[in-house]
Structure formats: structure tokens, C-alpha cells
Amino acid sequence: MSQTIPDEPVPPYVDPTKPSIARVYDAFLGGTDHYEVDREVVRGVTKAAPEAVDLAVENRAFLIRVCRYLATQGGITQFLDCGSGLPTAENTHTVVQRADPRARVVYVDNDPMVLAHSRALLEGDERTAVVAGDIFEPEALLRDGTVRSALDWDRPIALLQLGTLHHYNGEDVRTRQDVMRAYVDALPPGSYVAISHFLDPEDEHSRTARKMEAMFLHSMMGSGTFSTHDELARLFNGLELLAPGLVRCCDWRPDGPRLKPLTAGRRCIAGGVARKD
């Protein structure tokens, strides 16, 4: 994990006194685009549960495998990446456009730093767009002009909600399941939905999961809920899950055999991919 970022002026669109989910995630991944307030969250969580770094690592590895599979095996050439976060080594568009240069990607985020960095990275890329929006307001997002025009809504689309839904704090108004139902209802037939989420494994590692949850929720970030397998399965709203189903992220179509024992952190994030017929 990196310790500092270059001592440069803070951009006017960034509030360095409040942690950002995207910057905290970047810090967990060893990136450089974060501030002391973000590192404070990381230190607090990892002090209580050193395994927490594995959540970010496994989520990114899951994203890469899912995107590669959908582009090469699923024949998907359109991706709507919700809560995309700060650009890192392997982004959705680099993975899918390596498999198929025709692939189109729309990134959605509400973090000003994410939007600025992504737009700078993607300048001149006509097949990739960045949209400012609230991923937990699907009706408004799906009416966005760029979302409508950059993707062909008569053809299958891959909807990515990877490491996002556990940061939703509006359950008292609208459940995560209802948010996902709005997205699923809008997707064309043949589309795919990919979700990864913090997991309470309901075994001897539940204590670790709930300890990490408490640290996230009581940090300045204020979000990061761990859910059970049954709770996560409901987010797919009855869609048919691809094999191997809803499993720990590390168990979803791994690149090779497991050579090391699983840490508690790797046991506490799950993911799955489902198809809409």
C-alpha cells in the first residue's frame, strides 16, 4: 500500500477533508490518488482487520475476469460500469477492448476526482465515455443523454455493479433489491448483470466480516455493509446465474489453481454474473 501522494495543490473540485470511496479504494490497491483523510480510513480498518486489503484486491481481480469472460465468451460489446472508481492498471475498457476493439464502455461515477482523471485518460477515445451520475438513482441515470446515445439499448449490455452496492445507505427509502430491479427491467434481453459485494460468510469468519463492517461504517466514510449469501442472491432479482453461481470472488472462474490458503478477507467478498433472457 502506498504511503503518500505527491505534494501538489488540491484541485478545486476535491474536498480533502472528507474521505472518498474511490480514493479509499485506490489507497487499498496501492495507488497514488488519495489524501491523508482517505489513508486514515484505510489505517483504521486495517488496524482492526488487516485482511481488509484483500477485499479491494479480490474485487479488482473479479472485475478483470468478468469483463474478459463477457467480452470473449459472452459476445458482449457494450458495458455500463457503475461506480467505476479511479483509473488503475486494468480498467473495464482496456480489458474488453483488448478482446474486441469495437467494445463500448460507459463509466458512471459521482466523485469529481474520478470524473476528472477518467476524462483525461479517455480523451480522444470515441468508444468510451464518462458520465457524472448517482448510480443509486437508476431511473435518472438511464435517462442520461450519453448513457442513451453511447450504448445501443436494442442490443445486449453488461451492467457492472462491482464493489458498489455495499456502499448504499438508502435502505430505509429504497432497498438495494429495488435499485437493481430498476436496472434489470431496463436492460435488453440477452444482457448480463455482474455484482460483487462484501460478504458475511456465516461461519467462523463472520466475526472478521462484522469487524470490518463496523470499522467501515464508523469511519468518516460511513459505508460498507456486509451481507449474507441469501441477501446477495436477491439482488439478482431472479435472473439465471452463470456457473459457478454466486460464490466468493476468488472462486469465480479463477485463472488457475489455488496455491495458497484463503485469508479471511478473501472469504468475505462474493460475486456473480447473471443473464437476462
pLDDT greater than 70 at residue 152: yes
Identify the weakest region by mean pLDDT among 9-23, 71-85, 207-221, 231-245: 9-23
pLDDT tier, 19 (very low <50, low <70, confident <90, very high otherwise): confident
Percent residues over pLDDT 70 in the chain: 94
Which three cell numbers mark 239? 435472473
pLDDT greater than 60 at residue 182: yes
pLDDT at 236: 97
- Distance of alpha carbon 216 from alpha carbon 198, whole angstroms: 11
How far does Cα 12 stand from its chain's mean position?
Answer: 26
With 0-12 / 13-18 / 19 or more C-beta atoms within 10 angstroms meaning exposed / middle / buried, residue 51 is: buried
Which three cell numbers mark 197? 459485494
Residue type, 131: V
pLDDT greater than 60 at residue 274: yes
Which three cell numbers mark 98? 483488448
User: In 3D, which of 217, 5, 193 has the Cα closest to residue 117?
Assistant: 5
Longest dimension (CA), the chain: 51
Which three cell numbers mark 54? 484483500
96: number of Cβ within 10 Å: 27
Q: What does pTM read for this prediction?
A: 0.89
Contacts of 142 (CB under 8 A, 6+ apart): 148, 182, 183, 186
Contact 59, 196 (CB under 8 A): yes
- Distance of alpha carbon 163 from alpha carbon 85, whole angstroms: 10
